[in-house]
Amino acid sequence: MADEMTLAELAEASGLAARTIRFYIARGLLDGPVKAGRAAAYTVEHLARLEKIKKLQAQGRMLSEIGRSLAGGTTPERYAAAPTAWWRHAIADDVVVLTRSDASPWRTRQIREAIDELARSLQSAGDEKRSRK
């Protein structure tokens, strides 16, 4: 691969549409081209950044979160009002998980799946321990 690519070549290499790449640039997720005008060019760093964005998206992160994370931010912008209530999930005799009650449907689903998984893993760990005794 050449050191420098056109936008069309970068789109081809990354598997993303050129419009999507421009959108990422506008959102600050990706730097603009290294040269301006007709010779506008992109480098392997651009490609690597796009691959990273795709990977983070596949992990369930939203572009706004990815933007903050790539910018090196540790304190995400938050627009959270104080929670009015929490759900208390007693998943084992010695483990209680609190979750915010007003999370969105998709987030609630993710959280419940994670809690189910944790509960199952604690349950099987407990069973193993008992069977060894």
Tell whether residue 59 is a contact of other proteins (CB under 8 A).
no
Minimum Å distance from CB 57 to other proteins? 7
Cβ neighbours for 53, distance < 8 A, ≥ 6 positions apart: 24, 29, 30, 63, 66, 70
CA distance 42 to 96: 50
Tell whether residue 26 is a contact of other proteins (CB under 8 A).
yes
77-110 burial, b at 16+ Cβ within 10 Å, e below that, comes to: eeeeeeeeeeeebebeeeeebebeeeeeeeeeee
Tell whether residue 104 is a contact of other proteins (CB under 8 A).
yes
Minimum CB distance to other proteins smaller for 1 or for 105: 105
Rg (CA), the chain: 22
* Segment contacting other proteins by CB under 8 A, of 17-25, 44-52, 124-132: 17-25
- Of the candidates 82, 91, 94, the one whose C-alpha atom is nearest the C-alpha of residue 113 is 91
Interface residue with other proteins among 3, 85, 94, 133 (CB under 8 A) is 85
Tell whether residue 126 is a contact of other proteins (CB under 8 A).
no
Minimum Å distance from CB 133 to other proteins? 24
Binding residues for other proteins, rule: CB under 8 A, are 6-8, 16-20, 22-23, 25-26, 32-33, 36-40, 57, 60, 62-65, 75-91, 98, 100-109, 112, 115-116, 119
